[in-house]
Amino acid sequence: FLSGVFTNCSNFITDFKSNSESGDGYADLMFMNERKKKVVIIEIKASTNDDDLKQDTNDALLQIEKKKYYEPFLKKDSINTIYCYGISFCNKQCEVSCRKIK
């Protein structure tokens, strides 16, 4: 679902990737806005119950950091900001956590 949403945002997203190799693994979603020099990396988790939502979003952020999905963008002078998001879903509930890397 999220992949479809971001695919149709070509007016402000310039480089959208889904399950793309980055760092030491494969990030679920990544995109950038070259004009504003920003990158967004999203890792998505499915929680088994509502009580796990917050922990699973934190685990998603830890996965981004542990596998260094943001590493290719750190060295680019053309990128000023990197935001990482952990998103967890359980039935109709959702939790989102964000961490600014650069």
pLDDT score, position 6: 59
Fold (CATH) for 2-100: Trna Endonuclease; Chain: A, domain 1 (3.40.1350)
User: What residue segments make up the domains of the chain, in order of their start?
Assistant: 2-100
How far is CA 61 from its chain centroid?
8
Q: How many whole angstroms separate alpha carbon 48 and alpha carbon 89?
A: 9
The token pair that represents 52 in the structure block: 């796990």
Contact between 20 and 28 under an 8 Å Cβ cutoff? The reply is no
Contact between 12 and 6 under an 8 Å Cβ cutoff? The reply is no
Give the neighbor-by-neighbor strand order of the sheet with 93-100. Answer: 17-22, 25-33, 38-46, 81-90, 93-100
Position 5 confidence tier, pLDDT thresholds 50, 70, 90: low
pLDDT tens, residue by residue, 13-65: 666 666 666 667 788 888 888 778 899 999 999 999 999 999 999 999 999 99
Position 4 confidence tier, pLDDT thresholds 50, 70, 90: low
